[in-house]
Amino acid sequence: MLARMHDYRMTEITWDVVIVGGASAGLSAALILSRARRRVLVLDGGEPRNRFAPHMHGVLSRDGYSPLDLVADGRREVRAADGVIETANVVSVAQGDDGFDLTTDAGDSIRTRRLIVATGIRDELPEVPGLAEQWGRGVVACPYCDGYESRDKRIGVLLGSAAALHKVHMLRAYSSDVTVLTALSGELAEHDLRTLAARGIRVDDRQVAAVTSEDGTLTGVSFTDGSTLALDTIFADPRMVPRDELLRQLDVDRTETPFGQWTAVDAMFQTSVPGVYAVGNVANPGALVPVASAAGVTAAVAINADLVMQDVAAAVAGVAA
């Protein structure tokens, strides 16, 4: 295969599909397209969002599996099907007459017929001392991912805004010992306070000084008045920021979501720019690992169908000429 015979940066290569981002969404797309005998190049910066977590949950047949091991498995499978995966950060993209031109931070130029952006999101954590050190372990964000592991334990919720109260009520299903820490969100409405009280959820408005731990294990929080609260798990409310710089360069359409403006895609995950697809969290802020993987597969099938029709049309035109 041409991809294996040449350096991926050689400008005479036009890839069928370049995928920017190599976690569950990007690798799922790459596996389908590589097995369809497409020239596939995955460019990945090596920083998946869930790299801080030792385990994934809610992933059928892989519950409790390391997310980094999942990526490693996926890379082996894609390479076994002749897909090419390289560590690189893509910094710019431009649309040409019959494809897209990418440039990496090393100055390499890459050309492709179709483009999949699977760059995910980054979490902006609350600026609380000790929180970042526990991120992905004692401090988590998603009840679907980590709620079950916190069942019947002492759960704290570091509320970022009143909009996140839905997460609090979800967590009540896992434990009767739930405390909402409202120092970052500010005073809650009286209706919200009555609702929380009706469900047996405590509200603590003291100013949080730090997230505390001992020998790497979360112990709780300390407050500016010197008091402490023992907790087994803290659910934080980080701000999710899409890593959509490439999509913005292409001026794709955007849509409003509960998390702010996000890239708009159709049912096959194509953006408003023909030939450009967005999958995973960069297109869906709420996508869990199985959802992100499914998006990658869906986009890959659509792209291959599109390329098949383009190849047929080119062959027919060549005969006619």
* Same-domain status, 229 and 307: no
DSSP assignment letter at 16: E
| pLDDT confidence band for 5 (50 / 70 / 90) | very low
pLDDT at 3 over 70: no
| pLDDT confidence band for 98 (50 / 70 / 90) | confident
* Same-domain status, 181 and 252: no
Confidence at residue 8, expressed as pLDDT on a 0 to 100 scale: 62
> Residue 180: which domain range?
126-235
pLDDT in tens, 257-314: 988 899 999 999 999 999 999 999 999 999 999 999 999 999 999 999 999 999 999 8
* Same-domain status, 217 and 137: yes
- Domain CATH for 149: 3.50.50.60
pLDDT at 140 over 80: yes
Q: Which residues contact 194 (CB under 8 A, 6 or more apart)?
A: none
* Same-domain status, 185 and 229: yes
Closest CA to 41 of 120, 107, 100: 100
* Same-domain status, 9 and 158: no
Strand order in the sheet with 217-223: 208-214, 217-223, 228-230
Of the CA atoms within 13 Å of residue 30, those in its CB half-sphere come to 33
* Same-domain status, 38 and 89: yes
* Same-domain status, 174 and 276: no
* Same-domain status, 189 and 142: yes
DSSP 149-202: GGTTS-EEEE-SSGGGHHHHHHHTTT-S-EEEE-TTT-PPPHHHHHHHHHTT-E
* Same-domain status, 16 and 84: yes
Domain final position from 171, 200, 235: 235
pLDDT at 125 over 80: yes
Domain final position from 235, 250, 271: 235
* Same-domain status, 10 and 91: yes
Q: What's the structural domain count of the chain?
A: 2
Domain final position from 218, 235, 252: 235
CB atoms near residue 297 (< 10 Å)? 17
Contact 65, 22 (CB under 8 A): no
Tell me the whole-structure pTM to 2 decimals.
0.93
Q: Are strands 100-104 and 90-95 parallel, antiparallel or unpaired?
A: antiparallel
Contact 145, 49 (CB under 8 A): no
* Same-domain status, 140 and 205: yes
Alpha-carbon 248 to chain mean position: 17
* Same-domain status, 6 and 94: yes
Percent of the chain with pLDDT over 70: 96
Closest CA to 93 of 294, 310, 275, 319: 275
Per-residue tokens: 48: 């998946």
